[in-house]
Amino acid sequence: MEALPSLLPGRKMKFEGRNILAHGMAGMKRNALPGLALWSVALLLILANQLVPSARAAFESVAGWKVRYGFAYSAMTTALFGGVVPFSFLLVTGRIRRGRGAPELAFYLLFWAYKGIEVDLLYRLQSRLFGDQGTFGIVLRKVLVDQFIYNPLWAAPTAALVFMWKEDSFSFRALRSRLGMEFLTFSVPVTLLSTWVVWLPSVAIIYCLPSPLQIPLFDVVLCFWVLVLSFISKT
């Protein structure tokens, strides 16, 4: 999964100085504890699937829905876990600016529905290229492609652009004024460094699961991650 910019309305990514490594390391330290909590949740879900019969039955049902509905499942559940749940939290805590509720909700729904399909495509492609087994070598190859090719070359820059556009009240003119070499050479690298601490282990755990369960676990981790951003971010 891509490194995400701040998901809160009105929040700008502000980096003082020019030391990418220093700012990236600061972000990694800030995200280390939330990351540990997310990894623990993911690992507990995998253990429950392996050791608890009732949990295994629930996982099998979810996997069946994923197989049956395919990309529609990915779009709907990712829109729910990445968009509706965090948006509802932001709304009830007063972090959505007045008059922005409808466009913000539409943004979250559309963006995360699309992102669910995109991530599902990535997972399917990697399964075709490397196989579905959860062996160390296969998982390692998938993680490297996910986090060091797909993420920096496509997912992180495009997500940053989309969220900057949202923070600029969906104004393309305002967005253009913020773009430049600094965006690619500073903002995106710092964002990647600060979120790799969370998503590198998370996607490694996700890729250990059978293909039908990868999107469901991704959705759970994503939901907690966006909620964590909501708690630690300042409006």
Distance set, CA 172 to CA 35, 103, 108, 181, 221 (Å): 33, 15, 18, 18, 31
| Residue 65 within a domain | yes
Residue 217 and residue 205 in contact, taking contact as beta carbons nearer than 8 Å: yes
In a domain, 15, yes or no: no
Q: Is residue 6 part of a domain?
A: no
2 in a structural domain: no
Say what the pLDDT of residue 16 is: 43
Q: Domain of 129?
A: 20-232
pTM: 0.82
CA distance 78 to 82: 5
Answer yes or no: is 8 within a domain.
Answer: no
Q: How far is Cα 49 from Cα 60, in angstroms, rounded to an integer? A: 9
Q: Which of 74, 95, 58, 40 is nearest to 229 (CA)?
A: 95
Q: Is residue 11 part of a domain?
A: no
- pLDDT over 90 (residue 140): yes
Task: Look at residue 14 in the predicted model and tell me its pLDDT.
Answer: 44
Task: State the pLDDT at residue 181.
Answer: 78
Alpha carbons 85 and 72: distance in angstroms, whole number: 18
In a domain, 7, yes or no: no
Domain count, the chain: 1
State mean pLDDT over 41-67. 84
CA distance linking residue 158 with residue 5, whole number of Å: 10
Instruction: Dump pLDDT digits (tens) for 143-171.
Output: 999 999 999 999 888 888 888 888 888 88
**Complete DSSP assignment for 182-221:** HIIIIIHHHHHHHHHHHHHHHHHHHHTS-HHHHHHHHHHH
> 136 in a domain, yes or no?
yes
d(CA 226, CA 85): 9
pLDDT score at 12: 42
The confidence score (pLDDT) of residue 31 equals 59
